[in-house]
Structure 1
Amino acid sequence: MENIWHHRKVAETAAKGCMVCYKPSSSVLITPDSKDFFYICPSHLKDRNFALPTDDEAKAIAERKKKEELDREIEAVKKEYEEKMKKKQQKKDKSKDRDKDAKDKDKEDKKPDKEEQERDDKIKALTDKADASSTAKSGVDDGPRVFQLQKHFYNQRLEKMRNAEAAKRARERMRNPQLFPSVPSGNP
């Protein structure tokens, strides 16, 4: 059995005792072939002495965090632009001079175009950064999903599986009547 464990969540009503501390937990570590699983607290998954995330998962988490930061920057630029546009609109509405020259109107029309272009350039630069540096999926849980157990805990799981298999073989032997000694057929 390979030392790769996938983190899954179960319903809160199906929570069972954690393997380490016996507190009810809805987090489960399961092997890819679904042969072995156990319930574990999310706090134990963060403990480096219990399990380590695989390299691919660690990279994916870092990329996901970068993408979130870039998304926040993009939102900030958009909000900043909207606020500027609102202020300009308020200034326009407040001005009572409606008889401006055509030149003044042209100058006012050109200024928002420049600002829009600047905003679009900023957003485009940030989205290009996000696309280049991140291919992680959004909407995924915050922690890693694939782990490797530390040697001691992994050996403990292997021994538990061996003991369960030995008990199963013993039960099968007990069901077979040919394994028991037969009644003596000779005279005493």
Structure 2
Amino acid sequence: MAQLLQNRWHLRRVADTSAKSCLICYKPSTSVLVTPDNEEEVAAKKRKEEMDREIEKVKKQYEEKQRRKRDKEKDGEKTDDKKKADDEEESKKAEKERDDKIKSIQNAASPLDASTDDMPRIYSLHKNFYQMRVDRLKAIEKSKRDRQRLQNPSTFPSVPKTDLS
């Protein structure tokens, strides 16, 4: 059987409402030890990719507007200085709007990535405490398997269908 989990733990601070009880003294604590999860890394990578796609989409929309505007200018051959000034003003507004959208997308993602601590502290538990955690996880896994077995009627023996004599 492969090792259930590594003896490497990251210290995390949680909100008072999410405080977990200590395994020794049973007092609620806002400092919890968690195993590093690859799922969190995958989720963070996915969020970043989505953010990059949104930024790219906004940039493409802006470029499309600018291209249409240039095509319109070529077709109309505007010579009026007032119209040119208006067009420049509109392009500045569009560029500012694009920059604002990009900043808002980045700001929306930054609170998720920002953390109050410098770096997560990494610990290795004493072998007895580590074994307590492993045993608890094994018991949880065993109870899940037992519950599934009890819900499945095919695991119980069936009544004999023929006579014994």
What TM-score do you get using the length of structure 2 for normalisation? Answer: 0.46
What TM-score do you get using the length of structure 1 for normalisation? Answer: 0.41
More helix by share: 2
Q: Name the larger-Rg structure.
A: 1
